[in-house]
Amino acid sequence: MNKIHLFGVRHLSPNAATHLLQFLDKHKPKCILIEGPADATPLMPQMAQKGVKPPIAMLGYTTELPIETVLYPFASYSPEYQAICWGVKKKATLRFIDLPSENMLKLRQEQPSEEEGEKAKAFYTYHNSLYKQLAEQMGETDYENYWERHFEHRQEKDSFAPTLALQSEEMRKMVVDKECEEAPFDFSYNLIREAYMKREIAQACTEFKPEEIVVIVGAYHLSGIENDLPAMTDEELKKLPKASSQLTLMPYSYLRLSSRTGYGAGNMAPYYFELMWQAMQQNTMDKLAATYLTKVAKILRSQGQNASSASVIEAVRLANVLSAMKGGEYPVLEDLHDAVITCFGGG
């Protein structure tokens, strides 16, 4: 495992995608292993076709009652999607390495009782409170502002992955005992997934040199993959429950990618992060605020509101000042929205 190249990501992060592409260009892997249901590997070449335009999603579903589904959405700025496109272009071997959908869906059908579910909710409230505390300690109102200012805007080469890996490892250490006690299903489910991913990584090592392999997973799983727990054996895999299932690739939308609709791995403004991704590719992050605020003004004008070019200029200036007051290089989304309220809405 020492020579395998590991890269932890946040699933919908433009900067994770940007740094991951740099990482792939640097190491030029012959094999790329990505968190996702193993039986969805045949869908990878389809995802990278020119006619396929994100947002898209892989949908796994049971074919018999009770119906259970699992969804894997991708935006153009999803690091996993960009890795797949890179791998197809470079003719690398691509594989998803998470539990197959037949096992994943059956385990989801066997989720805990209502009482255990309430305990799990309490755990996740505690879990989220840790992230809020971290944000407040850094002078931010919430974790999304902290994330954007300290991760999305972090452009230094080779800085993103180590910083995220360290934060994720420390957070996991803080919650693992409480997760085991209050959310035992989720805790054991993650251990099963990580044991399976280790199995797939070990299989890849019989076909490629470790240094020819890049493994891409959510940063939370990095320490779970690197620990000393054994990989899943053939016998253990046979004992996992199964459900009859199917997988398909489907069109998706920015609305459904938004955390506002309940998607746990989403963000508040998927289209804004699409604009950020485009700015990163064009090396124009310094113009992102003006681009976004100009689009907001255009929409307001189409609705009969007063949002002049002069107001856009003032809003950009205000957003930059608000960011500078917190030591930021660029405004975060909240800075931009505060500027909109002040300069377009008169407060």
Residues 215 and 321 in one domain: no
Residues 185 and 36 in one domain: yes
* Helix-strand-coil split of the chain, %, nearest 5: 60, 15, 30
Kindly state whether residue 139 falls inside one of the protein's structural domains: no
What is the C-alpha radius of gyration for the chain, rounded to an integer number of angstroms? 21
Give the model's pLDDT for residue 118.
Answer: 82
β-strand pairing of 245-251 with 31-37: unpaired
Distance CA 37, CA 98 (A): 5
Kindly state whether residue 84 falls inside one of the protein's structural domains: yes
Tokens coding 282: 């064009």
* 3-state DSSP of 236-292: HHHHCCCCCEEEEEEECCHHHHEHHHCCCCCECCHHHHHHHHHHHHCCCHHHHHHHH
Residues 30 and 73 in one domain: yes
Residues 219 and 308 in one domain: no
Final residue in a domain of this structure, among 267, 292, 325: 267
Residues 263 and 321 in one domain: no
Give the model's pLDDT for residue 129.
Answer: 93
Burial per residue of 276-289, b for 16 or more beta-carbon CB atoms within 10 angstroms, e otherwise: bbebbeeeebeebb
**Ramachandran quadrant class, 283 (left: phi over 0; alpha: psi -120 to 50; beta: rest):** left
Distance CA 328, CA 331 (A): 7
Range of the domain at 22: 5-126+158-267
Beta strands in 122-244 (DSSP E): 213-218
Distance CA 343, CA 321 (A): 13
> Taking the model in full, what pTM does it have?
0.94
Give the model's pLDDT for residue 263.
Answer: 61
Residues 200 and 63 in one domain: yes
Per-residue pLDDT of the chain in tens (347 residues, 90 and over written 9): 679 999 999 999 999 999 999 999 999 999 999 999 999 999 999 999 999 999 999 999 999 888 899 999 999 999 999 999 999 999 999 999 999 999 999 998 887 767 777 888 888 889 889 999 999 999 999 999 999 999 999 988 888 999 999 999 999 999 998 899 888 888 999 999 999 999 999 999 999 999 999 999 999 999 999 999 999 999 999 999 999 999 999 999 988 888 665 665 667 889 999 999 999 999 999 999 999 999 999 999 999 988 899 999 999 999 999 999 999 999 999 999 999 999 998 87
Closest among 124, 126, 123, 146 to 136, alpha carbons compared: 146
Cβ-based neighbour number of residue 65 at 10 Å: 6
226: Cβ contacts below 8 Å, ≥ 6 apart: 1, 6
Kindly state whether residue 290 falls inside one of the protein's structural domains: yes
Residues 118 and 243 in one domain: yes
Closest among 53, 4, 3 to 249, alpha carbons compared: 53
Q: Which helix (H) or strand (E) holds 83?
A: helix 79-89
Residues 57 and 173 in one domain: yes
Residues 294 and 247 in one domain: no
Question: Structurally, how many domains does the chain consist of?
Answer: 2
| 35, 96 Cβ separation under 8 angstroms | yes
Residues 173 and 263 in one domain: yes
Closest among 297, 274, 304, 301 to 343, alpha carbons compared: 297
